[in-house]
Structure 1
C-alpha cells in the first residue's frame, strides 16, 4: 500500500481539480502529525519542513528525525536545501520511496541559509539550479515529481528575497502564469479560502500554498474561518495515537489510559503545544491564552484542554490506527547515488553533517513568550515570517 501511495503522480491533481490546495513547507511545523491533520480538511498536497540535504545524506539520525510518514501521508513533497548536485540528487534518491516528489528550496531568505549559499542564494546560480534539476530528473524515474524550474510544476512566493512581509506581487504571478505551460502554485499572504479563490480569479494560478493561515486554522481549505473544537479533538487524537507502537496500542486497547507521556515516542512537546497555541489564538479569551501559551508539559496541556473544552485524546479503532502508525523507513544501501556523485576525496573530507536544530523554539517563538506574560494581547501573527 505504501508503494502504491507513493507512486501517485502529483500532476494528476492539476488535471482533476480546478484549484490545488497546498500546505507549505514550514520550519519545525509541517511535520507528519500536522500534515495528517490538514488532510482531514481538504488539503490536497503537503510538504515536509525544509531539510538540509547534506545532513540527510550523511546522517542516519537526520533521516530518522526529518522524514517520517504513514499510509495517510500522501501525496507528499520532500523539500531539501542544497547547493550541489550530489547533495540534492543523493537526498532525493534516499527519500524517493517514501514521498511523491522533491523540492529544491530556492526561496528561504533567512540569514543562516544565505551564509551557507542555500535558499534564495540559489537564485543567483541559475546554471547550477538547471544542472541539479536535470540530473535529478535523469536519475529518478517517473512518476516521481521534481517541483522546480518548469520540470513538473512551479511554486512561486510572490515577494522578493528581501521582503519578509507585505503585499505580494499579483502582476508578477499573472505574468509567470501567462508565460508558462505548466501548473503554477501561488504562495504568500493567503489567510483564507476566499483569499485563494480571489487570487485565482486575478492570476489564473492552478494551486495555492498557505503557511501561517493553516497554523491558525487547519480547517482553512474547507472554508471554515475558525478552528472548531472537533479540529482540536482530531489534533489530540492524531498526536496521541502517533506516540503508540503496535505493542503499546494493543495494551491500550485492553486498558485505555488516553494520556501522552512526557517523553513520548515520535512526538515532541514543541510540536504538540505550539500547534495548539496557534489553533487557539482566536478561540481562547485573553486571560486563558496567557496561561495556556506558557504551559510546559503534556499533562498540563491535556488538563487545560480537558477542563476548558471537555475533550481528551481518543484511541483509534484498529483500521484507523494502522493507517496512522509511523512507518519504519529503510534507507539501507541507498547512499550509493550520493557517494558515486561525490568524489571519494571530497567524501572523505566531509565527515560531519550540518544538523539543523529543529527542537529549538526559534527566535520568533522566544520573542513572543515575554509579551504574552506582560501584555494584555497575545499576537502570534509575526511568528512565522520564515514560513510565509
Structure 2
C-alpha cells in the first residue's frame, strides 16, 4: 500500500495474525542512491514481527514461527533493484517487485503496471537481485491480471528467473479498486504457475469469510489484504470490525515509535472508525487538524489512551 504500511501499522497488524507484512512501495533508484531517501522510506524494529503457531497438516505438533517483513520496491533497472535490495537485506526477510501499481505516474516512469507486458525486464530484475543476494534470499513479484496469455507468460518468465512466489491482484491495471475482484483470473494464475511457486491472492478480502472463500475459489496458497486491513487491522484474527483495543494499541505503538505525520495518523484512525461513525461524526472527525484533537476525540468516545 502506498504510504499506509509504515512501521507502526505493520507492528499493529502483526499482533492480529498477519504473518507477512510489506513496506509501502519504495523507489529502488532513489533508495539505492540517497541516504536521505533511505531514512525517509524505511524504518523497522525487531518488535514488529509477530510470533505464530504454525500447525502443519497430518497432526504434527505446532511450531512457533516468526513473522516476516518484505520490502516492496518499484524498479525498472536491474542494478538499482539489486543495490536497493542489498542495502535493505539485513533488516528484511525478502523483497517484492511491484508490477501492478496502476497510477499513471508510475506507468510513465516505466515501473509498476508498465512491467506487466515486459516479462523480459521482470526476468532481468529478479535475476539480478538473486545473483547479488543469493538464491536463499526471497524475491517475489506482485502483479495485476491481464489477458491470459500475457499473465501466463509473465508468471512463467518470473519462475525461470528464480522468483519465490507471486501475489496476484485480481483486477487489471485499468480497473479501479471499486470494481469487483475477478477470482477466476487469479485461479488462472494459480494454474499458470503449475505448482512451481506459491500464488497469493489479493483483492476484496474484507473478512475471514472472504479470505476462506477466496482460498476456496482460487486454490491460492495465501491471501493478502490491503484496504480490508486498513478498515479492520484485526481482520485475520477473526474480528468482523476493528476492536476498540486495536485503536488504542495503534496510538500506543505510533507514539512509541515517535509518531506519524498527522495526515497519515488521521487517515489510519478514520479508516478504523469508518463503520462506527455516522455522517455528522465523519464530517466532524475529518475537520480535526492535530494529533491532540484526534486523541481528545477518541477519549471522548471512551477509549483509554496513553498519557
Alignment TM class, shorter chain as reference: 0.7 to 0.9
After superposition, residues 73-92 of structure 1 pair within 5 angstroms as: 73-74=48-49, 75-92=68-85
Question: Distance between the aligned counterparts of 2:192 and 2:120, measured in 1?
Answer: 20
Question: Distance between the aligned counterparts of 1:29 and 1:280, measured in 2?
Answer: 16
Question: Distance between the aligned counterparts of 2:116 and 2:201, measured in 1?
Answer: 18
Q: Which of 140, 155, 176 is the matching residue for 2:167?
A: 155
Pair 1:233 & 2:248 matched = yes
Question: Distance between the aligned counterparts of 2:103 and 2:132, measured in 1?
Answer: 30
Pair 1:202 & 2:217 matched = yes
Q: Which residue of 1 aligns with 2:152?
A: none
After superposition, the C-alpha distances for 1:190-223 in whole angstroms (9 at most, x for unaligned) are: 2111111011111111111111111111111111
Question: Distance between the aligned counterparts of 1:89 and 1:210, measured in 2?
Answer: 27
Pair 1:37 & 2:30 matched = no
Specify the SS of the correspondent of 1:282.
helix
Question: Distance between the aligned counterparts of 2:192 and 2:103, measured in 1?
Answer: 29
Q: Which residue of 1 aligns with 2:262?
A: 269
Specify the SS of the correspondent of 2:274.
coil
Q: Which residue of 2 aligns with 1:185?
A: 200
Question: Distance between the aligned counterparts of 1:86 and 1:142, measured in 2?
Answer: 17
Question: Distance between the aligned counterparts of 1:146 and 1:51, measured in 2?
Answer: 15
Question: Distance between the aligned counterparts of 1:233 and 1:306, measured in 2?
Answer: 10
Question: Distance between the aligned counterparts of 1:299 and 1:175, measured in 2?
Answer: 49
The structure-2 alpha-carbon separation of the partners of 1:72 and 1:303, relative to structure 1 and needing over 3 Å to count, comes to: same
After superposition, the C-alpha distances for 1:39-80 in whole angstroms (9 at most, x for unaligned) are: 111111010000111110111111001110001233111011
Question: Distance between the aligned counterparts of 2:305 and 2:289, measured in 1?
Answer: 18
Please, which runs of 5 or more residues in structure 1 have no aligned partner?
Answer: 1-25, 244-265, 315-388
Q: Number of matched residues?
A: 267
Question: Distance between the aligned counterparts of 1:112 and 1:231, measured in 2?
Answer: 34
Specify the SS of the correspondent of 1:91.
helix
After superposition, the C-alpha distances for 1:85-134 in whole angstroms (9 at most, x for unaligned) are: 11111111111111011111110110000111111111222111101111
Q: Which residue of 2 aligns with 1:109?
A: 102
Question: Distance between the aligned counterparts of 1:90 and 1:313, measured in 2?
Answer: 40
Q: Which residue of 1 aligns with 2:88?
A: 95
The structure-2 alpha-carbon separation of the partners of 1:86 and 1:230, relative to structure 1 and needing over 3 Å to count, comes to: same
Q: Which residue of 1 aligns with 2:36?
A: 61
Higher relative contact order structure (alpha carbons within 8 Å, sequence separation ≥ 6): 1
Question: Distance between the aligned counterparts of 1:157 and 1:292, measured in 2?
Answer: 32
Pair 1:214 & 2:229 matched = yes
Please, which runs of 5 or more residues in structure 2 have no aligned partner?
Answer: 50-67, 142-157
Larger CA deviation: 169-178 vs 221-230: 169-178
Partners of 2:206 and 2:229 within 8 A in 1: yes
More strand by share: 2
Partners of 2:187 and 2:220 within 8 A in 1: yes
Partners of 1:227 and 1:283 within 8 A in 2: no
RMSD over aligned CA atoms reads 1.4
Pair 1:172 & 2:185 matched = yes
TM-score normalised according to structure 1 size: 0.67
Question: Distance between the aligned counterparts of 1:227 and 1:138, measured in 2?
Answer: 43
Give the Å deviation of 1:142. Answer: 4.8
Specify the SS of the correspondent of 1:309.
coil
Partners of 1:41 and 1:221 within 8 A in 2: yes
